[in-house]
Structure 1
């Protein structure tokens, strides 16, 4: 069982959600293009391949709405960090930077996605919920 403090990547202010005020917000436009090209694929694979706790379909890309609803919307985790699932898309498509401590965390795991078992996923979801209720 994975235990300890859960950290959450911020949400993007350009993507509207009913509970946006519960998350730290950053600007997608300001973060795009700041990640080294060599990190895009491995980091996107880590973000997109780790455990999905909730999936709610797709939303429009706020940087190119002509693409239609191509951005996955949900919530993922590796048991220590959690993030809106769309992070993988924006890292791959736009080279969106992540906080340096998260990047070091993913690098320390060799960018190998984490698949939690059912008990670990439930525990992670409970810890995320507790954080969001504060």
Structure 2
């Protein structure tokens, strides 16, 4: 299971288990034509866990609008907030992930409950050993 990195500005208990990127380093680095398609893909993929919302570290005045949790398409997994930052700020994604999503025509696969359970176990193993 490949994992998208976590953002260093969003504190979670397991933050140290992820590769980290700074939000400011990737803002407005995504082609505008890809924002909506990639955000939709990230948001529509299978949810492994949903944990409410937190505030936007780039604009705290927006309130608690950033989704927390974890999602997967069966090959990749990511913190749920990626969809928000891609849509709102054009946050750059790794090219390997963008190529993967393009190969699926920006349509996340429908995963069975067994596939979601397997993906969840793989994420747990990757992060926690």
1:108 aligns with 2:84: no
Tell me, what secondary structure is at the counterpart of 2:78?
Answer: strand
Aligned to 2:68: 73
Deviation at 1:29, TM superposition (A): 1.1
Which of 91, 94, 107 aligns to 1:99? It is: 94
TM-score (norm 1): 0.94
Identify the residue that residue 49 of structure 2 maps to in structure 1: 54
Runs (4+) off by over 3 Å: none
Count of residue pairs the alignment pairs up = 129
Q: CA RMSD in A?
A: 0.7
Task: Determine if contact 1:49/1:114 at 8 Å carries over to the other structure.
Answer: no
Distance between the aligned counterparts of 1:90 and 1:63, measured in 2?
10
Per-residue CA distance 1:46-97 (angstroms, 9 max, x = gap):
0000000100000000100000100000000000000000000000000000
Q: Please give the alpha-carbon distance, in whole angstroms, between the structure 2 residues aligned to 1:12 and 1:133.
A: 18
Distance 1:32 1:115 in 2: 30
Q: Scaled by the length of structure 2, what TM-score is found?
A: 0.98
Q: Is residue 61–residue 70 contact of structure 1 (8 Å, CA) maintained in 2?
A: yes
Structure 1: gaps of 5 or more residues: 1-5
| Contact in 2 for aligned 1:59/1:70 (Cα 8 Å) | yes
C-alpha deviation, 1:114, in angstroms: 2.6
Query: Which ranges in structure 2 are unaligned for 5 or more consecutive residues?
Result: none
Q: Does 1:88 align with 2:53?
A: no
Q: What is residue 127 of structure 1 aligned with on the other side?
A: 122
Match of 1:17 in 2: 12
